[in-house]
Structure 1
């Protein structure tokens, strides 16, 4: 089982800081995804900044979200999205 996202903060250059309910933290670089599918909707930086916690993962108000296991794995590994 993976931990749930507790807090998410958008940063500069499409980087997201994530805090999990087990106390772990990490960052997620969204730049590599911005040219693909629905992720193009958050290419607009104002849209990107409207990220929030939803259930156990992150989502944007344009209904774009990420799989919680993906978020945790990428943050834990310290890899870019």
Structure 2
């Protein structure tokens, strides 16, 4: 699968990462945006095999030098690809039903 096909390089950097269930990550990008990505489609090939273990998956960290995430200090994914394959995280107060309730107060 060619994940970076059609991805325009805008040099996003990841500032923080939070692993959540079902091999999803919440990513904070340098533009202040939080996005959610399902990394299961990326877990292909020998290098990604250990990451299929939930205990290792949860050890994801930010590689500040590369501006992306990595596992075991060796396996990483391009931050522009992660941005393109992710969706914005809708925070509760920004969600339409919560925002309408908050606006009434």
Q: Shorter chain as normaliser: what TM range?
A: 0.7 to 0.9
Runs of 4+ off more than 4 Å: none
Partner residue of 1:5 out of 5, 11, 14: 14
Partner residue of 2:49 out of 40, 43, 47: 40
| Partner residue, 2:83 | 72
Structure 1 residues 45 and 62, CA gap change in structure 2 (3 angstroms): farther
Structure 2 gap segments, 5+ residues each = 1-9, 88-105
Instruction: Report the RMSD for the aligned CA atoms in angstroms.
Output: 1.3
| Partner residue, 2:71 | 60
How far residue 62 of structure 1 moved from its aligned partner, in angstroms, is 5.5
How far residue 69 of structure 1 moved from its aligned partner, in angstroms, is 1.3
1:13 partner SS:
coil
Query: How many angstroms apart in 1 are the aligned matches of 2:78 and 2:12?
Result: 12
Query: How many angstroms apart in 1 are the aligned matches of 2:21 and 2:59?
Result: 13
Q: TM-score, normalised by structure 1?
A: 0.82
Q: Indicate the structure (1 or 2) with the bigger Cα radius of gyration.
A: 2
How far residue 53 of structure 1 moved from its aligned partner, in angstroms, is 0.6
| Partner residue, 2:60 | 51
Matched, 1:15 2:7: no
How far residue 73 of structure 1 moved from its aligned partner, in angstroms, is 1.4
